[in-house]
Amino acid sequence: MQKQITLPEQISHEKLADLYKQMWLVRYFDEKVDQFFAKGLIHGTTHLCVGQEASAVGSIAVLEDKDKIVSTHRGHGHCIAKGAEVNKMMAELFGRETGYCKGKGGSMHIADLEKGNLGANGIVGGGIPLATGAALTSKMKQEGFVVLCFFGDGATNEGSFHEALNLASIWDLPVVFICENNQYGMSGPVKEMINIEDISTRAESYGMPGKTVDGNDMVEIMNTVDEAVSRARAGEGPSLIEMKTYRWKGHSKSDAKKYRTREEETEWRQKDGIKRFKSLLIELNVLTEEQAASLQEEAKQEIEASVEFAKNSKEPSIDTLLEDVYA
């Protein structure tokens, strides 16, 4: 007997298959970036979201094209889910002029305004007030877009988090705050940083709905975010959603992960959101094993092509050094 589930009305079977491919694009992109950093072919630093694909792809899946997102330093998944071109993303990380920021921004500063991605941010919690400001714009100019604001668990102890949630609540702004709780703020476990079980309970202080969901469950994510987005679009104000997930890699490229056990990592890998989503789609007769494998291979080849695009692109010339610099 076919399993029965409830999905947002805008999520068709074709959309579900596309979301599955998106999840593989996110994973293959970050795994490839990890390889190149290890070889010293990409410079600077990066923060990978391997293991967190569901929270990014599932959340953004329910948005309209006009809606906006604000990302984090761990933001490659958000970019891809909002429709970014992986060629331009990879070129940016390689420091090439064909990148989103002409090769000058790197991993933590990709933005794609045409697609509604207002940008990643290297400052912990730095994007939260920006998302609130964008939502204020939407309300004051009656533009009708909703803003998804992503941030990590570490950001919820920053002043910017509390100030922004307070203002968003007072002004009933169309913003959905999404905390991707991957269990660690850099090297510190969440349980040592806060004295509550669920970060979402902080929503009560600001008079908005708060909910904690399984950050590796695509269906729960889509339904929860869709409800919050619909509420925001109707003028009923912001929500706070906590997605409990896990980053498989270190905090950044220099992190040896000595603060957590291999048993813990194995336990979370068994909760892999991509594998769970694949099983669901096969059970729903959305995909066959062969179709799922084909979509996975397509994603892999797109990422391989993005690497070739980046390698074959020019580096910025020295005479562009002062372009796009503001004093």
CATH code, domain with 307: 3.40.50.970
Report, as an integer, the average pLDDT of 281-310.
Answer: 97
The answer to whether position 154 is within a domain reads yes
**Percentage of the chain modeled with pLDDT above 70:** 99
- For the ranges 107-116, 249-258, 284-293, the lowest mean pLDDT is seen at 249-258
Report, as an integer, the average pLDDT of 30-38.
Answer: 94
CB-based contact 245:181 (threshold 8 Å): yes
The answer to whether position 319 is within a domain reads no
The answer to whether position 1 is within a domain reads no
Q: pLDDT at position 297, please?
A: 98
DSSP string over 125-173: TTHHHHHHHHHHHHHHTT----EEEEEEGGGGGSHHHHHHHHHHHHTT-
Structural domains counted in the chain: 1
Report, as an integer, the average pLDDT of 279-307.
Answer: 97
Higher pLDDT, residue 254 or 24:
24
For 253-266, write each residue's pLDDT tens digit: 888 888 999 999 99
The answer to whether position 48 is within a domain reads yes
For 124-146, write each residue's pLDDT tens digit: 999 999 999 999 999 999 999 99
What is the reported pTM? Answer: 0.95
Report, as an integer, the average pLDDT of 159-186.
Answer: 97
Only one residue has tokens 């600001």, namely: 206
Q: Which tokens hold the place of 63? A: 């948005």
The answer to whether position 44 is within a domain reads yes
Residues with Cβ within 8 Å of 178's Cβ and at least 6 positions away in sequence, in order, are 55, 59, 148, 149, 150, 151, 225, 241, 243
Q: pLDDT at position 325, please?
A: 81
Q: Is the pLDDT of residue 49 over 90?
A: yes
Find, among 158, 197, 183, the residue nearest to 250 by Cα. 183
The answer to whether position 244 is within a domain reads yes
Q: pLDDT at position 43, please?
A: 87
Q: Is the pLDDT of residue 2 over 60?
A: no
Q: Is the pLDDT of residue 323 over 70?
A: yes
Looking at residue 20, its amino acid is Y
Q: pLDDT at position 3, please?
A: 67
Q: Is the pLDDT of residue 73 over 70?
A: yes
158/198 Cα distance (integer angstroms): 17
- For the ranges 96-110, 128-142, 155-169, the lowest mean pLDDT is seen at 96-110
For 208-255, write each residue's pLDDT tens digit: 999 999 999 999 999 999 999 999 999 999 999 999 999 999 899 888
Average pLDDT, the chain: 95
Containing domain of residue 306, as a range?
13-312
The answer to whether position 232 is within a domain reads yes
The answer to whether position 298 is within a domain reads yes
Q: Is the pLDDT of residue 1 over 70?
A: no
Q: pLDDT at position 118, please?
A: 97
Angle subtended at Cα 43 by Cα 40 and Cα 47, rounded to the nearest 5 degrees: 105
